[in-house]
Chain A
Amino acid sequence: MPHTTETETETVARSTVTAPPGARTPRPAGKARAARVWQRLTPWLFLAAPLALLITFTYAPVANMVAYSFTDWDGVSPELHYTGVENYVDIFTREELFQVFLVSGYYLAASAVQIVLALYFATILSFSVRFRNFFKGVLFFPYLMNGVAIGFVFLYFFQDGGTLDSVLRLFGHETDRAWLSTSTSANVSLAGVSVWRYLGLNFVLFLGAIQSIPGELYEAAELDGANRWHQFRYIIAPGIRPVLSLSVILSISGSLAVFEIPYIMTGGATGTETFVIQTVKLAFQFNKTGLASAAAVVLLLIILAVTWVQRRLVPDDKVDLV
């Protein structure tokens, strides 16, 4: 086998193992070596562009960001000073900078609501229901919509005399409340919009997982006298555990990285500023690249920590890669 003659390198295309053994013997040695080098190079030719992009746009920024975070760089001037951990101390001690973590709490609570609702609708739509495809489509469609359009739709929804006020008036409830004008009310409203927007994805993922459970299981359970709750508890719940754990982690990192909806709707006013809005403002409006980098590093570390905890808690659904 040609494989054994090439032990000095692991670079063997899998299929050469089955190439006819006599194929390379008549070739002169120099040509064979050239072919081998070429062969060793082949995978790297395919990987050159993907790896270059990966390093340029993912790893280099992370490395630079960590480096910037220990400086007072403004992002433009050639001058920068090493400031140690000062930026990090600022983030955790200056109240107005720390505030954004509290805003994430609203979105975290909202994603809990979102997962429960998605689970409920996925469960009932996995049983036979009239107009199932219509319901499925309506619940999912908001997820596909443009974020700016959603922002405007809900600005009008919460606007004085807008959709919400008109509906409430229909039920005889007169309000002159400005929904987006106090911090709590605004954050609850914005978190509600994000449930409206993202529920569909969770729902479709859950529904897919439930539908991949073999139907005989339900029939068998039915024969054993199991009711809907038993079916949910003992068949559906275990079947969707991996997707559920994925959704939880996506929700947690998503709650920390909220940007579009609050930025479009309020611009971060009235106490609705999120971590990412703050970071973008620090970096691109106030030219505090160093401080913004430190904030981004903190966010990255939190997200990595959350992912790590999730992998530890649910070890069985590790990504099966190669």
Chain B
Amino acid sequence: MTPTAPAPTVRRAVARTLTYVSLVVAVVVVLLPLTVVFLTSLKTSKEMADDSGALTLPDDVLNLGNYATAFQDGRMLTAFGNTAFILLFAITGTVVIGSMAAYAIDRFTFRFRKLVVALFLVATLVPGVTTQVATFQIVNSFGMFDSRWAPIALYTGTDIVSIYIFLQFVRSIPVSLDESARLDGANAFTIYRKIIFPLLKPAIATVVIVKGIAVYNDFYIPFLYMPSEDLGVISTSLFRFKGPFGAHWEVISAGAVLVILPTLIVFLFLQRYIYNGFMRGATK
């Protein structure tokens, strides 16, 4: 299995080489488009016009002019602000809603419990993209259209995967903890707040990461529900680059890099949690 294994056959050596060749090809395929966009973001509009090709290095690697343009004319500051606002409320809401639902479903037996569970289960099968035609009318009737509360309500209200993640964790917390607290006179709310919620930290971390990335990247919901330019989130603001900066690929590239950079930093620091989070999120 390792190169030090005795008498590696020629076949194995070839297989190993092919393995690395395929990996390197994959790395090039992933990184090349991104690298080119990064290089483009550092070029001046004059360099872009001289037709030297996409693969050339910029003359001045510290030319951050396009970033300034993207930030100011592209209104990226407002966009990051709106995204942060939505992230904060949507994640808090998801965590509170999901943990409460999980606590109620796992710790109580009550009439219609099976029905409630079935309602949540069937809802996972309904893809959000299909129902927006009708959801739009409901959001509109609440007067939330073209406000930041529309995406917040939708992100909070339609996240059933989080409930499952919380459910798994609540189940792993021993019931004896609740019982001893109850003997000390704690009621259900105190138990939820003082015992269950603090012990859900790993689940909360998972939900914050998975949800955070999903909300940060979402385009569909803000695009449908927040047409005002003042309410642009990073996705929709970046999308608007297409008009005014039309052929100015150096500015569009700078905008794209600005949007990707926070994700890259978060990924580099939280790799392990991110892998685990997505594995839990996808397999429920």
Which A positions have Cβ atoms within 8 angstroms of B?
9-16, 18-20, 40, 42-44, 46-47, 49-51, 53-62, 64-65, 68, 75, 120-121, 124-125, 127-130, 133, 135, 137-149, 152-154, 156-157, 159, 161-163, 165-167, 169-170, 196, 201, 204-205, 208, 218, 222, 228, 242-243, 246, 250, 253, 257, 259-260, 264, 276, 279-280, 283-284, 289, 292-293, 296, 299-300, 303-304, 307, 319, 321-322
Contacts and interface: CB of A to CB of B under 8 A. Distances in A.
Nearest to A51: B116
A162 B250 CA distance: 12
B14 interface: no
B2 A128 contact: yes
B149 interface: no
B89 interface: no
Nearest to B279: A208
B229 interface: no
A51 B110 CA distance: 15
Contact of B238 (A46, A47, A146, A303): A146
B115 to A, nearest CB: 10
A42 B188 contact: yes
A131 to B, nearest CB: 8
A56 B239 CA distance: 30
B121 A157 contact: no
Interface residues of B, number: 101
B15 A14 contact: no
A191 B203 CA distance: 34
B192 interface: yes
9 contacts: A12-B109, A13-B107, A50-B163, A57-B157, A146-B216, A243-B283, A296-B130, A303-B125, A321-B117
Contacts of A153: 33-34, 37, 256
Among A59, A141, A143: residue with most chain B CB under 10 A: A141
Nearest to B55: A166
Interface string B72-113: 000000000000000000000000011011011111111101
A228 B15 contact: yes
